[in-house]
Chains A and B, each alone.
Chain A
Amino acid sequence: MSTAEKYLKPEVIRQIKRLDLRAQFIVKGFLQGLHASPFHGFSVEFSEHRKYTPGDDPHDIDWLVYAKTDKYYVKKFEAETNITGYLVMDLSRSMGYTYRQELTKFDYAICLAAALCYLMIHQQDPVGLITFDEKIRSSLPPRARRSHLGNVLSVLANLKPEGKTDVAQSLTQVAAMLRHASLVMVFSDLLAEPEPILHALHRLRHGGHDVILFHVLDEAEVKFPFDGMVELEDPEDHQRLQIDATGFRRDYLDEIEAFRETYRRECSQAGIDYVALDTSMQFDRALTEYLVNRRGRG
């Protein structure tokens, strides 16, 4: 593993304090890991046509030109800046949870958001930031300037996950707020009733936006590492339960998997990219997802 690639690991990135550096390292590590770049042409503007020669990617053939001229031409691109991205960040108290006392879900989401922001701004895509708990708390309008990266990162760095949350309400608000078709990237643990959230996501989608749902859970929430008699407390409503964790793990894992499966299925039907993450996973998974989505729009 190269030096840069190790920054894709949460436990490594945790040791870096500055968010801008975190973002930079994640993106560099990610890009270095890509061998032959399949992402050539993303977010670049069309520059010229040239004759197709065997060996060129047939995907790049311009079928409109073929229709007109009956000849194969491939498109050459330059940078293109017409995708507006919104990073939508859940500020709920539960996002501040960490079982291993390393990266919280929130930290993980922030790193990811910062990396994406970095990536997008470097591609001259405008990026905005929206944070919410029970409703939208703050927003930065999308900009593509380099200096905007600093703004976004400084806001992200200062965010604190606290209080209750209402994801559905907040997303509905976001949908109402965005005028133009954009790429909406939602970072949340989605620990609420799924029905209204899915409803809100559908609404976003109907608004013409592309949606990537980064479902960030803590490692403990996915693996349930408890043993013996435990008492568990919900950090938001402070409800407590005593359980025999050992006997309970199987049931819990089934439940959480069913929960994720619901989102995966519903999102798939609605054309939403659903990315199930936990805080032990490398960042590249999320970044790849973004790029694939971005490419689909190209």
Chain B
Amino acid sequence: MNFLHSAFLYGTLLVAIPIALHLIMRQKPRWFEFPALRFVQRKHEINRRRMRLQHWILLILRMLVIALLAMALAGPSLTFSDGGVFGSQEEPVAAVLVFDASPRMQYRHDNKTRLETAQEMGLWLLAQLPQQSEIAVLDTRSAHEGFLANPGAAEDRMRRLETITNSHPLVAAVDEAILLAGRSELARKEVYVFTDLSQSAWPPDSSAAAQLQDRIAAASDMGVFLIDVGVEKPRNFGFGRVVPLPEILSEKSPLRLETTLSCVGEGGERTVELFLIDREGRREKRGQQTVSVEPDQSVPVVFSVTGLEKGTHQGIVRLLEQDNLPADDVRYFTVDVKQAWHILVAAPEPAAYYAKFLTQAIAPQRYRRSGRARYQCDVITLEELSDWRLGAYSAVCLVDPTPLAPKTPEAPSVWRRLTEYAAAGNGVAIFLGHNAAPAVEFNAGGADELLPGRLATVVRRRNDDPLALAPRKNHPHPVLASFRGRQESVPWNLFPIFRYWQLEDPSGTMVAMTNGSPAILERPVGKGRVLMMTTPISDRAMQTGRDPWNLLAISEAVPTFLLLNDMMAYLVGSGNQRLNYTAGAADNVELTLEIDEIYDRYAVTLPEQAPDGTDIPPVPPDRQRQTVTVSGADWIGSYRVEAGGTGGLRRGFSVNLDPRQTQLRRTTSEQLDELFESGKYHLARTKEDISAVVRRGRVGRNLFPLVMMLLAVVLGAEQVLANKFYRDR
């Protein structure tokens, strides 16, 4: 407990007065003549003892009255921290002001964005801080900052605050602020957090939150003030992540664009528009939908765009009517449309049968006819492979190959040819099957230079105990891109594997089977890559009468379709090409270039949202890797990467806000209590709140009213008792 005017505590010495009064100036009782005194005498002793007790009680009450009065005048208060926060309110403080600079703070209410409101509050607060305080201003950029030289610098820093597209979590900034305040030598340390109290700013169960909890627990003398600049009932419509599927598509295949429209607060109908933007920046509307969203719900929005020419296309999806938070009312996207990739599929006789499943999976007949297929497949026999021209193909697939070792030493080795082909930057896929036996023969003739392992034996499983593919959870490999985030829901066990090739010295296992044996392996060869599957994808389609090795190649096997498509995309080099990024993840955007797309320099055009005067200097390509890398794409929007002037190269990519940055759902006080532990923080909304809360935080809760109430009670009791003793008549 602290006292504002501790000198008044000397007033408690005045408790001597009632003692003196009781001892010296004892009030004389009134005298009466009373003949029947004999009846009084008998009970007198009991009465005397009782009276003495009452006298003592009265004395104590009177002493209490004086003590409480002195205490009330001394201004008692109770601080919530265990120590440290002593002294008057005017003592200098180490104040760290943390501003949430996420795009959420652009939410406009009463004609002010949340950030403007926060700035206004911050400037006001700055003026309230005691002289000689140490002040730091932090935002949710990751940069480390220190205390500023003077309040003027702090004011300047505050005025220059603006929202950041790739805002870091607020809890991390608060964590840093507590660290910074802790380094100050001043006794009193305060952290002010200007926040809209949205759930995304204060995630309850993140590791950063846990760290913050520990930090606050350790810094018990720290005053943490949350200043709520949010809107209590926000209303906003906003897009989720926009995903063009795929990002690189072949000519004439449709662009499928998926996103969600979510709503915070009152729901309603909104019109969503899709525009494509041409080279000159002209917008062409290619789609419009009216979407009805229930309160606090989100609905999927899907656009399909056809007839895209070869080249890079950029566009936006936006809401027709802007709302209070414009940042999430528009999303940008970039797609590349390329010619169909040529794939060479080599298989034993009859090659068409063996290759049927693979070719149907990656280039369905229907798509091929309409010219929308991503791949163009040429099917040949294994014998033809030895002298087939491979240079025109982006990838070669061997379906259930037989041993390819040359019959005579002087004959050219197919394996060696394929190795050279891969080393030049192409892809080779081998799907092993029953034709590969005998293993010794298969391994001969330079196969070990290409394959990720040597074949050992065929493993047979009992029919009632089959294996299945078991990709690792959230494997980052592009081959598993379709399954990322939904491993549990992929029913691999519906497509059992009964036989597979066991390998010697396998390396680069990418996907294993349920028993841990490798199912898909990768081996980089030169600039290219080799994928090998230890069980075939052609067996079922053969219908030869023998038991199939697996049921992966049946028409219902959607996961196999997806897997094969991803494998092909990876082999032809489009699988790892990303064109759409979220802010913060676009530090180094790498674009893959074709051989004819290599120029000396590439000009980068920033999106129109980028502030004036900013640009990215022209970047040179990495000729070795055939890539160009753009760094510092911090702004939201579509970037263009161009070279060669008119008619030259035009590529691009898009950067969007992370939808989590614009989630406005408010956190509840229970969640805050959970995050901070109740009593470890002070929450304020208005300037008056801040004054009261800060005062309470510094000086503690004012106990004056409580003491006065106690005083009144004691005084009342004293009056009652005294009246009983000395009633005037």
Contact = CB atoms under 8 A, between A and B. Distances in A.
Nearest to A243: B47
A251 B729 contact: no
A256 B43 contact: no
Given A227-B727, A255-B42, A247 B35 contact: no
A217 B725 CA distance: 27
Nearest to A250: B43
Contacts of A242: 29, 48
A251 B38 CA distance: 13
A232 B34 contact: yes
B39 interface: yes
Given A230-B29, A230-B31, A233-B31, A217 B47 contact: no
Interface string B46-78: 111011001000000000000000000000000
A221 B40 CA distance: 10
Given A246-B727, A252-B43, A255-B42, A221 B36 contact: yes
B724 interface: yes
Given A248-B43, A252-B43, A239 B37 contact: yes
A188 to B, nearest CB: 12
Nearest to B34: A232
A83 B43 CA distance: 45
Contacts of A99: 32
A258 to B, nearest CB: 9
A248 B47 contact: yes
Given A228-B724, A228-B727, A229-B30, A247 B47 contact: yes
Given A244-B725, A246-B724, A231 B43 contact: no
Of B40, B42, B47, B50, most A-chain CB atoms within 10 Å? B40
A243 B724 contact: no
A185 B121 CA distance: 100
A21 interface: no
B33 A233 contact: yes
Interface residues of A, number: 34
A235 interface: yes
A229 B35 contact: no
A247 B51 contact: yes
A5 to B, nearest CB: 31
B35 A97 contact: yes
A236 B35 contact: yes
Interface centre among A218, A244, A251, A256 (most CB of B within 10 A): A244
Interface string A42-63: 0000000000000000000000
A191 interface: yes
Given A246-B724, A248-B47, A231 B40 contact: no
A241 interface: yes
Contacts of A239: 37, 41
A289 B334 CA distance: 125
A232 B54 CA distance: 20
B726 interface: yes
Contacts of B30: 228-231
A220 B37 CA distance: 12
Contact of A241 (B28, B37, B46): B37
Contact of B50 (A226, A235, A244): A244
Contacts of A39: none
B35 A218 contact: yes
Contact of B44 (A191, A235, A243): A243
B725 A228 contact: yes
Contacts of B729: 227-228
Contacts of A229: 27, 29-30, 51, 725-726
B33 A255 contact: no
A189 interface: yes
A231 B42 CA distance: 15
Interface string B712-729: 000000000000111101
A241 B34 CA distance: 10
B30 to A, nearest CB: 5
Contact of A255 (B39, B724, B725): B39
Contacts of B41: 239, 241
A218 B169 CA distance: 92
A73 B54 CA distance: 74
Interface string B320-338: 0000000000000000000
18 contacts: A94-B35, A97-B34, A228-B725, A228-B726, A228-B727, A230-B30, A231-B29, A231-B31, A232-B33, A232-B40, A233-B31, A233-B32, A233-B37, A242-B48, A243-B48, A244-B725, A251-B43, A251-B47
Interface of B: 27-44, 46-48, 50-51, 54, 724-727, 729
**10 cross-chain pairs, A with B, having the tightest CB-CB distances, nearest first:** A94-B35, A229-B29, A232-B34, A255-B39, A234-B37, A251-B43, A228-B727, A221-B36, A244-B51, A227-B727
